[in-house]
Amino acid sequence: MYSITSGGDVDAGSRGCVGIRLSFWLPSTALELPKVLRRNQMTKPKLQTHSMGSTEISRRTLLSAGAATALAAPFLSIPGRVFASGRIVVSSWGGKNEEVQREVFHKSFTDETGIEVVITGAPNPAKLTAQFQNDAVEVDVIETFSGMIAPGEKAGIFAPVDTNIVDMSQAIEQARRKYQVGWYTYAGGIAYDPTRHSGEQVPGNWADFWDVEKFPGRRALRPRVSENLEIAAMASGVAPDQVYPIDVDRAFDQLDKIKNHITHWTKATAQTIALVQQDEVDFSYTYSGRAFASQSSAVPLDMVFNQNYVGIGRSAAMAKSPNPEGAQMYLNHLMDAGRQAEFARLIGFGPTINAAMNGIPEDTRKWLVDLSDTQSNCIEDVDWWRDEFDALNKRFTEWRLT
């Protein structure tokens, strides 16, 4: 019997066939191995022999041996696994979130499919749109944020979720969209170091965060219009369940009041807690999973659970992506109750599949958000941003830089 595996390293630009293993009986004939499922250049496969000596094999012999289907198909069925070609590039937010994703999702995905997962930086909507328009998409799957979801759908940069591959049937309704899968829940709120601030020294809501005289200290916000307009509206006195539709002028007026007190605009999500830990910031907008991960590592950091911005972490397959089949397979991999429970246990972001709650410890559950609590939380409305994002993002960027 012969076992054929791809060999050598695939260069950074390659999306060839990796991880494929074929086993079948062949005669001892000196022939040449074909190039299989090649998208770009890849190294020549190696031939491993078992009991019959070293030889080379040609396409004609492989076809005569009944391997034509295996060679022509992008997916190969092997007992216990389905292997696909190439790799997928996934855009991620980095930090602890990325670390836990690697452990819970990426390794198991590669083990089960043979597809390598390559991580790139946080998604840039303008760059992704330009790549899409120029047929030069480099990323297969991206983690989205609330403000880019509906505009991205409108621009056509996302591929529809293929429900023949992706099973969203067990997910909560808010997690199921035509172009994204929602696979975790999170809360955005105020992070602080309890060894430096405690009790009445800590802002209890967004109006307090804006009150720099009563709650003095260095502050950090994200450099994005979505989330900032929502928390600014709450800081101005709008109830969490009345934030949408956002009174834009009111929100910008409120942002004017805090602008000179923002010492850091944190582009990298990991910095939303790192700056607090390094005593460069006193109060920072961050996410529940980031605060949970810090506490789990015995790093002093806490978070205010009041007037939180509550959202769903979603991923989307890019339209015109280099590996569309692999991207859909990855989305399906995210929608597994067991893996979502493990993700929640390690980082404190809640699952979107209710059955996953059974696998989450009690001490972790207190960090999970309640999407039904609209009185104390602002629940994201991604569709409100559909026709608003481009203009408001431009306005916010200009406001922040002037």
At residue 372, the pLDDT reads: 85
Contact between 166 and 332 under an 8 Å Cβ cutoff? The reply is yes
At residue 197, the pLDDT reads: 97
Closest CA to 286 of 300, 303, 298: 303
Neighbours of 33 (CB within 10 A): 16
At residue 159, the pLDDT reads: 98
Separation CA 48–CA 109 (nearest Å): 26
What does pTM read for this prediction? 0.74
Cβ neighbourhood burial of 207 (10 Å; 0-12, 13-18, 19+): middle
Cβ neighbourhood burial of 248 (10 Å; 0-12, 13-18, 19+): middle
Q: Residue 27: enclosing H or E segment and its boundaries?
A: none
At residue 36, the pLDDT reads: 31
Separation CA 277–CA 245 (nearest Å): 35
CA separation, residue 253 to residues 61, 86, 396 (Å): 74, 50, 12
At residue 152, the pLDDT reads: 95
Q: Which residues of the chain have pLDDT under 70?
A: 1-85
Domains and CATH numbers, the chain: 2-83 (no CATH), 87-185+312-385 (3.40.190.10), 187-310+393-401 (3.40.190.10)
At residue 295, the pLDDT reads: 87
At residue 85, the pLDDT reads: 60
Neighbours of 73 (CB within 10 A): 13
